[in-house]
């Protein structure tokens, strides 16, 4: 029993250490999320199984709070509405459970030249990068003009090629990949919440 516990701890420690090499990528993704929210965009988040719980976790940190009480931030978890997911799966197939919601929630701003732009983001969690429902949603998001971001595992799978930006956690199993994703999730929360605090301080000064 102790051997299993030690192995789990060793795997988690090893994968977390590798994330040090992704600090620039984490900062880039955080900047994109902040820029999109600053311009009225919403972050949509999706994943399957354990990754769906991380999607929910990220959204609740934004709509609720991470550390400090501050204004709620716009985030929608696409895997937390059982009625929507089962309706879409029943009528359109499981591969469309996230795509249909992206289509429903995407919002557009009309520019001076009358072109429409979307400031929303689709962020996906996937340990394989090969989930059909995730990748169909990414393709849809790309077509609509959302920024697409993947927190992925193994070699990134098809999702890595579809996403505008991605971080691939190469680890021995899904549990270790999700350990890495959890650390990245919290790092993004740290940066976003620091940005909100800075914005609020600036407003007070002015």
Strand order from edge to edge, sheet including 165-169 = 75-77, 43-47, 121-126, 147-153, 165-169
The pLDDT value given to residue 2: 76
pLDDT digits (tens, 9 = 90+) for 85-100: 999 999 999 999 999 9
Mean pLDDT score of the chain, rounded to an integer? Answer: 95
Say whether pLDDT at 206 is over 90. Answer: no
The pLDDT value given to residue 115: 85
Question: Using CA of residue 150, residue 155, residue 157, residue 161, what is the dihedral sign?
Answer: positive
Copy the structure tokens of residue 3.
């051997």
Copy the structure tokens of residue 65.
């709070």
Where does the pLDDT of residue 205 fall: very low under 50, low under 70, confident under 90, or very high at 90 and above? Answer: low
Contact 129, 149 (CB under 8 A): no
φ, ψ at 145 (rounded to 5°): 95, 10
The answer to which of 49-58, 121-130, 161-170, 192-201 has the lowest mean pLDDT is 192-201
The pLDDT value given to residue 203: 67
């Amino acid at each position: 029993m102790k051997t299993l516990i030690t192995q789990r701890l060793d795997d988690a420690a090893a994968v977390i250490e590798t994330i040090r090499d992704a600090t620039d990528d984490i900062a880039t993704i955080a900047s994109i999320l902040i820029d999109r929210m600053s311009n009225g965009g919403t972050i949509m988040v999706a994943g399957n199984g354990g990754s769906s719980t991380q999607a929910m976790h990220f959204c609740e940190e934004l709509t609720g709070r991470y550390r400090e009480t501050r204004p709620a931030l716009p985030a929608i978890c696409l895997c937390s509405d059982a009625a929507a997911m089962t309706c879409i799966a029943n009528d359109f197939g499981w591969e469309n459970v996230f795509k249909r919601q992206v289509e429903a929630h995407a919002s557009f701003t009309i520019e001076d030249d009358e072109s429409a732009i979307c400031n929303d983001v689709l962020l996906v969690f996937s340990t394989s990068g090969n989930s059909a429902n995730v990748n169909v949603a990414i393709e849809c998001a790309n077509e609509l003009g959302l920024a697409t971001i993947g927190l992925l595992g193994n070699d990134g799978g098809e999702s890595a090629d579809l996403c505008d930006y991605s971080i691939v956690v190469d680890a021995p199993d899904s549990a270790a990949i999700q350990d890495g994703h959890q650390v990245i999730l919290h790092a993004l929360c740290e940066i976003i919440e620091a940005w909100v605090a800075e914005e609020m301080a600036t407003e007070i000064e002015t």
